[in-house]
Structure 1
Amino acid sequence: MLNPKKISMSYKKYRNNFVNGTIIEKRKSQYEECKSEISIIIESNNVERDHVLLIDLGTIYDYHLMIWKEEVLVQNTNRIEGLKMMYPDVFYQCVSQELYSIRYPKATVDYTFMEIIAALIHFTMFGWQREEEILFEFIAEHIGDRFLSSNDWNKHTWFLLELYLQYKNKTLLGASRNVYTFVKKELESKDLRNDLLPDDLGIYDKVLKCWSTPIEEKITALIGQMINYHSELASELGKS
């Protein structure tokens, strides 16, 4: 049962943790360190340390995420400049991995499946067609291998991916629905971890099945169910 008071208190606690904590100054300090480090590498053409450029992209992503949160939580604006800077950082990490794997074959990736799918969705929303197409090709090629750790529990991420496939009339592993089940089989065949993948998408399954329905009552009911589901999750934000 959704508790409006709980969700309000949770949001206030989340905001206070961000505003009154050291997050903003810490992220800015880390970003400046990365900026200085990268400038020195580029100016000296020190190719033996080029892996640092890839490693630092994760910190740069965190910095742009912080900028977006600051604009929303502190300045109370709807600006999306921070978002538009975040996802190219994920994109650069993805498209650089194959090159780096030749020189640093034991390197681990610094991005998550959730971040990659979020980047794909935002590229589509921003109309960045070239980046969207390149990133989707990367996903299609690497889903189920070490360059794309898809052992992900987040139902919302799988929902967005299937919604994208439906919207673009595309498939992954030959499927456009219940993709997570095909990914599970792919991971199993390679003896890779697959224990976090969901067994179903819950309310998201209902929405995907009825996405094109013209029946207003059904749409209203599904929106209500999704609001409750997301609100219950958001009510736990203060614990994070």
Structure 2
Amino acid sequence: MAVSFSDLSSAAGLKKLDEYLLTRSYITGYQASKDDLTVYAAIAKPPSSDYVNVSRWFNHIDALLRISGVSGEGSGVTIEGSAPVRDAIATPPATDTKAVAADDDDDDVDLFGEETEEEKKASEERAAAAKAAGKKKVVGKSSIVLDIKPWDDETDMKVLEEKVRSVQMEGLLWGASKLVPVGYGIKKLQIMITIVDDLVSVDSLIEDYLTAEPINEYVQSVDIVAFNKI
């Protein structure tokens, strides 16, 4: 079913999108698609960290564009005041030198009204990312769901998740999460990650980071619930 959003240049529009992405990794379905690109293109600049879910999703889609592009068709999404994303963004074509030169000559032409310096810079960065995605070879990636269990019912699960998400490395992207009751008042954190296989070992991530100091003060164990190649 197609979804729709209002003006994503406004605080109200971003707040609605942030609430929508609270329990989702992508705009529609379980993989990145043209629906994600439509919304991505409608956001003039990287969202503030105040919009936690939008910021997480935006950085994920931006990284996918840099690595291998996005080919999923999606279910359809509309945004007030925005045109549908073009296929060329989802699957960037091979670079044509003459076409690039012509594009450079047209950089100063304003087709849709006056553009701010921030918007212009953001547009240039996205175009560069799309072109780079078209040049890079496809690399192996995996989508993984982890079960992270605390020591007891007194563990602050909000702090636990903050500690987990603080682990940052090249090729690792944190996704959606939720708390799942285990019993006796204890809840576990179930969280999605996407990894670039050549850069991140999930076993090393668990042993060397998620169950090592200082996070092991909060985490008792980490189990792999689902492991799928993308």
TM bin, normalised by shorter chain, reads under 0.3
State the TM-score, normalized to the length of structure 2: 0.26
TM (norm. structure 1) is 0.25
> Going by fraction, where is strand more abundant, 1 or 2?
2
